Amino acid sequence: AKDNGRGCFAYFSEDLTIAVRERIALEVRLRKAIKQQELRVFYQPQMDIASGRIVGAEALVRWQDPVEGLIPPCRFIPIAEETNLIVEIGEWVLRETCRQGRQWLNMGLPPLTLAVNVSPHQFRRSDINALVATVLRDTGFPAGQLELEITESGLMENQDKTTNILNSLHAQGVHLAIDDFGTGYSSLTYLKHFPLDVLKIDKSFIDDIPHNKDDMEIAATIVAMGHILGFKVLAEGVETLEQLAFLQEQSCDLYQGYLKSHPLPADDFVALLQANDSS
Ligand code: C2E
Ligand code: CA
Ligand code: CA
Ligand code: CA
């Protein structure tokens, strides 16, 4: 296994036997981790670009292993996807985020949009509509404050079925975002058939702004066409003030990134929110 520098490991073919054994071991541990409640949700703020205000957060799962410490999702989400454990994890993240969101409302915090990632497997192999309805009812979190993030590739898999599922979710009042936009095969014009609210420009188009003129043109085009199609556009992975200034010039609506904050535990997120509001 080779460390790719982000605490994640990429396997090469000569390591295959080890890789398979490690994966099985990890799967067993992951099942146990779910039972023993070792998963956590971190929250990364999403800002309105024009006002700078925090208007929402993306919920991102972490695994708090008693021995290894905090394990990032890239170490276990891919395995969870292969083993279908992602359905269970996804349900837990949705429920925990809505529970937390309801608690924040009860504490008197301003209403925030909370965005939860939905894996393509949850689309294909589970009834996401029934789950969302149940969780919203159980937690009392308002549907209009919940956003589901679906990757572009996830949307393109079975377009008729996807359209039905998205229409039903939208009818519940839930907001829908397309994640990692620009990395898949969809054309912007096709997207108008889906009831989407937000386009998230993939971080890879933001990274090299202002040095890469192609990326700047692509990002600007996504913002402009997203607006023509009636979507709000959010830029992910914003790390510098130059990137933010460029996006502001393009009238991009929202941003998210290390420039403002890493994903934070719930308490730290609330502290940031309160500091931000009083400044
Ligand atoms: P994603 O949905 O594209 O989430 C954004 C990722 O980019 C997060 O990584 C976030 O920490 C990172 N990020 C945000 N701003 C910046 C920035 O300015 N610079 C850099 N370098 N990175 C930034 P994270 O939390 O490690 O999550 C990685 C991926 O794991 C997510 O990518 C998503 O695909 C998956 N994931 C995380 N939580 C869940 C979950 O609950 N369910 C599912 N199905 N997938 C999840
Ligand atoms: Ca996401
Ligand atoms: Ca993304
Ligand atoms: Ca991603």
Q: Nearest bound ligand to CA 148?
A: 2
Q: What is the mean pLDDT of residues 91-112?
A: 97
pLDDT band at 7 (very low <50, low <70, confident <90, very high): low
Q: How many CA atoms lie within 13 A of 20 on its CB side?
A: 4
pLDDT in tens, 15-72: 667 678 888 888 899 999 999 999 999 999 999 999 999 999 999 999 999 998 999 9
- Ligand 1 atom closest to 119 (CA): 44
pLDDT in tens, 263-272: 999 999 999 9
Mean of the per-residue pLDDT values for the chain? 91
- Tell me, using a 6 A CB cutoff, whether residue 265 lines ligand 1: no
H-assigned helices in the chain:
16-35, 77-83, 85-106, 120-125, 128-139, 152-156, 159-171, 188-191, 213-228, 241-249, 266-277
Q: What is the mean pLDDT of residues 218-229?
A: 94
Q: Look up tokens 């996006």; give the residue.
A: 247
Res 84 pLDDT > 90 = no
Q: Nearest bound ligand to CA 60?
A: 1
- The dihedral built from the CA positions of residue 90, 172, 183 and 70, taken in this order, carries a sign that is negative
At residue 155, the pLDDT reads 80
- Ligand 1 atom closest to 42 (CA): 25
Q: What is the mean pLDDT of residues 92-114?
A: 98
CA angle at residue 27 from 203 to 76, to 5 degrees? Answer: 15
CA of 60 to the centre of ligand 1 (A): 6
pLDDT band at 123 (very low <50, low <70, confident <90, very high): confident
| Nearest CA residue ID for atom 33, ligand 1 | 117
Nearest to 237 by CA among 175, 181, 174, 153: 181
Res 259 pLDDT > 90 = yes
- Tell me, using a 6 A CB cutoff, whether residue 180 lines ligand 1: yes
- Ligand 1 atom closest to 73 (CA): 30
CA of 59 to the centre of ligand 1 (A): 9
At residue 22, the pLDDT reads 81
pLDDT band at 162 (very low <50, low <70, confident <90, very high): confident
Q: What is the mean pLDDT of residues 86-111?
A: 97
At residue 279, the pLDDT reads 60
The interface pTM score, or ipTM, of the predicted complex is 0.97
Collect residues with CB below 5 Å from ion ligand 2. Answer: 117, 149, 179
Q: What is the mean pLDDT of residues 223-229?
A: 93
At residue 148, the pLDDT reads 98
Residue to mutate, 40, 117, 147, ligand 1, most ligand atoms under 8 Å from C-beta: 117
Res 12 pLDDT > 60 = no
Q: Nearest bound ligand to CA 78?
A: 1
pTM: 0.94
Counting residues of the chain whose pLDDT is more than 70, the rounded percentage is 91
- Tell me, using a 6 A CB cutoff, whether residue 202 lines ligand 1: no
Q: Look up tokens 């919940």; give the residue.
A: 146
At residue 1, the pLDDT reads 46
